[in-house]
Structure 1
Amino acid sequence: MSVRADSGPSRPWRGVGADERQARRREQLIEAGFTLMGTDGAASVTMRGVCREAKLTERYFYESFRNREELLVAVLESVARQARAVLEAALGEAPEDAADLTHRAVAAFTGFVTADPRRGRVLFVESLAAPELTSRGAELVEEFTATIAQALRAPSLAGETADDRDVELNAQAVFGALAYLFQAWLAGRVPIGQDRFIEHVVQVIEQLAKASSRR
């Protein structure tokens, strides 16, 4: 007598426990949502479409997500988590010199979003356009700006007289500028090569990092 994958909540199947099977199915659904959202936009994502893409029955959707909005948020969180990890790794490995540090971080992040065009669309288009992502998107912006602020605190970038408020404001400015620069460049509205784009972004960051209203 064979044992089916759904024969019990705690019974292993082919050596894989129930919790791990559920986690795998959840990842399949997120990956399917990422494919649809990153290709055709958040508006194209439906529960049935995601299940077809994931090759899972519809009941497994509700095993992991209460509704479509939860899936969209999970997709955004997944891509943002990967992007932030790339950025933090680059900042951690980069030398203290401001120009080298900034260039390393920008090049790593640019490489991440260009390696898979779906990533850029999720991060810079759908996160701003999809109403379902507005709230979580705002929270993720705060997380990214915190990472940016940490880098901007270096005296070689911010200068010797910058205070915490300068750094906070400049981090917000850098995030906003970069979000729209990447959006335009990835969409092909700014027809320049990757090397020049990276160099321009580096210069934007370096200029914004020096802004100060402290008196």
Structure 2
Amino acid sequence: MTAAYTLYAKPGFASTTIERLCSEARISNRAFYECFGGREELLQALHERCVDESLAFVTKALQEAPDSLDGRVEAGIRAYVDFATADWRRARIMHLEVRRSGDVLTASRQRAISSFARLVEESSADFPSIVPPNRRLVALGAIGALQELLIEWLLAEDPPPKDELVEVAAHIFRRSLGGR
């Protein structure tokens, strides 16, 4: 898993063969296949681990956030951005390789997005008077915006500062959810 974490992030999933994974991990191909059905299954396991860890990190931040929509938005986004960007490999797997892998991670990606959308919906449910009627669609749109901001951070020659990512994403979420 450690070898895949680095190799799937760079040079990327498409460029990483099982032979290279096994060489990097110092295991035999047979040992690899005793654990995983193929490199796709390993990528899915890595992606799901990253998603589960980020969900736990964001959930904890939301539980400790001020009891206001703005407070929750700021805390949740800051936690997610901090978590995703703390390790460039995690950010690449969660935001680039998940898309570049084609159909391999479609179901895993959709489960992750649905989990985060539920988190946004639940966090905003205490504020029904200021949240739009279709929280799910608004949550999905705001999550998509945050993903694109993180892709920009990963790929830009001069990446925006993380605080600026948080500020812009919080602005998008607040406006989308009807906050100030």
The 3 A distance-change label for structure 1 pair 153 and 138 is same
Number of residue-to-residue matches in the alignment: 178
Written as runs of structure 1 = structure 2, the 5 A alignment for 1:103-118 is: 103-118=74-89
Q: Which runs of 5+ in 1 are unaligned?
A: 1-29
How far is the alpha carbon of 1:190 from its aligned partner?
A: 6.8
- So what's the TM-score if we normalise by structure 2? 0.89
Q: 1:143 aligns with which of 99, 105, 115?
A: 115
- So what's the TM-score if we normalise by structure 1? 0.76
The 3 A distance-change label for structure 1 pair 161 and 38 is closer
Q: Does 1:124 find its partner at 2:92?
A: no
User: 1:36: which partner in 2?
Assistant: 7
The percentage of aligned residue pairs carrying the same residue is: 29
Q: Does 1:56 find its partner at 2:27?
A: yes
What is the CA deviation profile of residues 174-205 of structure 1, one whole-angstrom value per residue up to 9, with x for unaligned ones?
11111112111232267432222211111110
- Alpha carbon RMSD of aligned pairs, Å? 1.9
Q: Does 1:72 find its partner at 2:38?
A: no
How far is the alpha carbon of 1:173 from its aligned partner?
A: 1.1
What is the CA deviation profile of residues 113-169 of structure 1, one whole-angstrom value per residue up to 9, with x for unaligned ones?
2211111111111111211222322222212211222123231xx535744xx1111
CA distance in 1 between counterparts of 2:155 and 2:54 reads 19
The 3 A distance-change label for structure 1 pair 191 and 93 is same
The 3 A distance-change label for structure 1 pair 161 and 81 is closer
Q: Which runs of 5+ in 2 are unaligned?
A: none
Matching residue's letter, 1:210: G
CA distance in 1 between counterparts of 2:112 and 2:169 reads 21
CA distance in 2 between counterparts of 1:184 and 1:144 reads 20
What is the CA deviation profile of residues 9-29 of structure 1, one whole-angstrom value per residue up to 9, with x for unaligned ones?
xxxxxxxxxxxxxxxxxxxxx
Written as runs of structure 1 = structure 2, the 5 A alignment for 1:129-208 is: 129-131=100-102, 132-155=104-127, 159-160=129-130, 162-163=132-133, 166-188=134-156, 191-208=159-176
CA distance in 2 between counterparts of 1:190 and 1:170 reads 30
How far is the alpha carbon of 1:75 from its aligned partner?
A: 1.3
Higher relative CO (Cα under 8 Å, sequence separation at least 6) belongs to: 2
Bigger Rg over Cα? 1
